[in-house]
Amino acid sequence: MTIANLNIVPFVSVENMMKLVLDIGVERFLTDLAAYIEEDFRRWELFDKTPRVASHSHDGVIELMPTSDGQLYGFKYVNGHPKNMREGRQTVTAFGVLADVGSGYPMLLTEMTILTALRTAATSAVAAKYLAPKGSDTMAIIGNGAQSEFQAIAFKALLGVNKLRLYDIDISASRKCANNLEGLGFDIAICTTGQEAVEGAHIITTVTADKQSATILTDNMVGAGVHINAVGGDCPGKTELHRDILLRSHIVVEYPPQTRIEGEIQQLSPDHPVTELWQVMIGKTAGRRDPREITLFDSVGFAIEDFSALRYVRDQLRHTKRFDELDLLADPDEPRDLFGMLLRQAAKEPA
């Protein structure tokens, strides 16, 4: 990427993000993005960390997710409005910014609705590398909405999962998912109940959308030795798993202060022990400790994952033209003469 004017900011639109993903290939994009996420989690202690700033309403939530490693600063704006689907709109939309800490100047503005789906799936698969049983090839996906295909492809790319058992209360969502994944190397079964879906699965992914406490998995549905990838919990009052499952599981989280507010563990006492994913990655703490252990990745999404995604896209733009140039930053001839810019523009305008 070569932009002569430092005050021009590259912008990746939805159209260009889709073209960039297809240029690279979905599986390779997910694999490469997973490597960026793992790299940043391994330097976890360098980052500024705070739970996301959330504005809740009756209809949903709007959140800001900021972080910095001291060199770069990134944030994501994201919403979650389940009612949008009934109106023909996306439940989740997002955009993000990457900036230079030294100057404060933004370096990238990009859509993050598609990118968030990709980074969520990549993070799930990275966690499963450390937590899922060895040789896992079968995954149940409960909730077959916008995230389901990305999860499936990420687990295939990173772990070799090639058998899927799909369940959704709306069977048309399962058919949509199966149709979208046709020809990509999966053996797919559409199931009529959650219980049927988890039978024979090594990995269980729950990724539902409703902002409410629900019991997607009951305790009797979860046998020894499985890995649960709980993706749907992302706000206070929304859970997917029965509390008894948590009490039987080795729970791994991204950032405990955020997960205790938003994740499955909001059902537990504030001092219930959990393991942080970054500690597993660097070998400070064990991931899967026993073949019969139930592991649970209580994933709510954290700003460092978005930072990794922004970094990855920024690096890809060096080799492509899949961006537009935005005249986003004021550039007066003399830095203190901002008003003079208006006067000079006025002189150019026709009388």
**Which residues are tagged catalytic?**
234
CB neighbours of residue 291 within 10 Å: 9
CA torsion sign for 253, 258, 260, 263 is: negative
Contact 17, 115 (CB under 8 A): yes
> Helix (H) and strand (E) counts for the chain?
11, 17
Q: What is the DSSP letter of 133?
A: P
Q: What is the DSSP letter of 185?
A: S
CA torsion sign for 299, 304, 306, 311 is: negative
Nearest to 168 by CA among 137, 138, 183, 147: 147
Q: In what order do the strands lie in the sheet with 294-298?
A: 187-190, 163-167, 138-142, 203-206, 227-230, 294-298, 249-253, 275-276
Q: What is the DSSP letter of 212?
A: S
